[in-house]
Amino acid sequence: MTMTMQIVPNIALVDYPGAQRAALHGLADMFRLIARLDPEAAGPEVTIVNADTLPQQGVTALLFPPSIGGARGALDHPLARWAHRQHAQGALACSVCAGAFWLGHAGLLDGRPVTTHWGLEESFRETFPKARLEPEHILIDDGDVITAGGLMAWTDLGLHLTGLWYGGAMVSRLARYLLIDPAGREQRNYSSFRPERGHGDTAVLAAQRHMEMHLQGPLTVPQLAQVAGLPLRSFIRRFQAATGHAPATYLQALRIEKARGALERGAENIAQIAWTVGYADLPAFARAFKSRTGLTPGAYRARFRAAFPPGAVSRRIPLA
C-alpha cells in the first residue's frame, strides 16, 4: 500500500557517533530532490538528529546510516531507547550497514530477517543471535523494519523508501537525475502491502505488532481483541478505522506480504514458506497468494527471486 500524499513523511536521519557523513547528507539531499523534481509533490520533511536533539513527537521513519569504525550502540544508549519508543508508536525503523546494530540494541530485530554489511556478519551474529541474518541480500523489507547491507546501500534504501511513499515513477525520475541504476532495487514492492501504523491507537498497534511476531501460529479476531484489551465489536470497529482494513483482511495481506519476501530472498520450498506465514493448507495458501499478487507462488519466485553470483559473499574481510 503506497502512502497517500495527504500524509507528508517525516524522516529522522540519526547522526550517531561515527555515522557516515556522505550517507546522512546524501539521503537528506535525495529526499529533498523529490519536491524539486515534482513541484506538486509534498516532499518529505527530513531532519538530521543526534542524541541531544531527538524529537519526542512521532516520526514516520527513523534511519540509522552506515559507519566505518563508528559506535554500534548499546542496550541502554539514549538513541536505542528512542528508536524503540518511536517504533512502538508506529515509526518505520530503517538501517544501512552497521546501523543495524542500533536497531538490534533497540530490541527490534529478534526473529526477523535482516541484513548488514557482509564484513560484519560474525560480529552481528554474536551480538544478536535471535535475528535471522541474511547478509547476501542488499535490502530486506520486513514491513515495519527495513535493513540494507553495504556502505553504499543507502542509495538502495533511499530509492526504496521513495517508491513506498511516492511510487515507481518518482523512483525512475530520481534515479535518472542522480545517475543511479534502479535495476534490481525491488521496484515491484512499491505496490506492496504497507499497513498504517502511525494512527495513534495504541490498542490497535498492539494487535498489529502481535500479528507481525506470531504469524506462524493460529490467529483469530477474538484473540487479537484480547491482545488489544478491547471488546470484540469495539476492536473490529477501531481496527478498521485505524488501518483501513478489517482484521481478517489485514492478517491475510500481511501473511502474503511476508511470503513474497521469503520467495524473493530464499531457497526454502513453498510449503515451508506457507507454514512459516501461518498456512497449514498449501492449496489455500496458493489461492490466497494468487488472489493478491496475480501469480502463483512458483511463478512469483521465478520472476522476482534475487540472484547472486557464486561466492559473492564468501570473502569475510573484517569491517573495522
Q: For 197-240, write each residue's pLDDT tens digit.
A: 889 899 999 999 999 889 988 899 999 999 999 999 999 999 99
Percent above pLDDT 90 for the chain: 66
Going from the N-terminus, what domains does the chain have, and what CATH number goes with each? Answer: 10-191 (3.40.50.880), 202-304 (1.10.10.60)
Sole residue written with cell 498489529:
208
pLDDT for res 183: 52
The secondary structure of 238-264 as a DSSP string is HHHHHHSS-HHHHHHHHHHHHHHHHHH
Kind of pairing between the strands at 92-96 and 113-114? unpaired
Contacts of 87 (CB under 8 A, 6+ apart): 62, 93, 106, 108, 144, 145
- The most confident of 179-193, 222-236, 251-265, by mean pLDDT: 222-236
pLDDT for res 7: 73
The residue among 209 and 320 whose pLDDT is bigger is: 209
Given a cut of 50, is residue 305 above it in pLDDT? yes
Mean pLDDT of 180-202: 66
The set of long-range contacts for 38-43, using a CB threshold of 8 Å and a minimum separation of 24, is 38/170, 38/173, 41/5, 41/166, 41/170, 42/5, 42/8, 43/8
Residue 134 · residue 266 · CB < 8 Å: yes
Enumerate the β-bridge partners of residue 12: 47, 62
The whole-chain average pLDDT of the chain stands at 87
The residue among 72 and 315 whose pLDDT is bigger is: 72
pLDDT for res 217: 85
Number of neighbouring beta carbons within 10 Å of residue 315: 8
pLDDT for res 218: 87
Q: Report d(CA 226, CA 207) in Å as an integer.
A: 9
The residue among 121 and 306 whose pLDDT is bigger is: 121
Q: pTM to 2 decimals? A: 0.68
Mean pLDDT of 236-245: 94
Q: Angle at Cα 62 formed by Cα 237 and Cα 42, nearest 5°?
A: 75
Residue 285 one-letter amino acid? F
Give the model confidence (pLDDT) of 75-108 as tens digits: 999 999 999 999 999 999 999 999 999 999 999 9
Q: Report d(CA 235, CA 222) in Å as an integer.
A: 9
Q: Report d(CA 87, CA 169) in Å as an integer.
A: 29
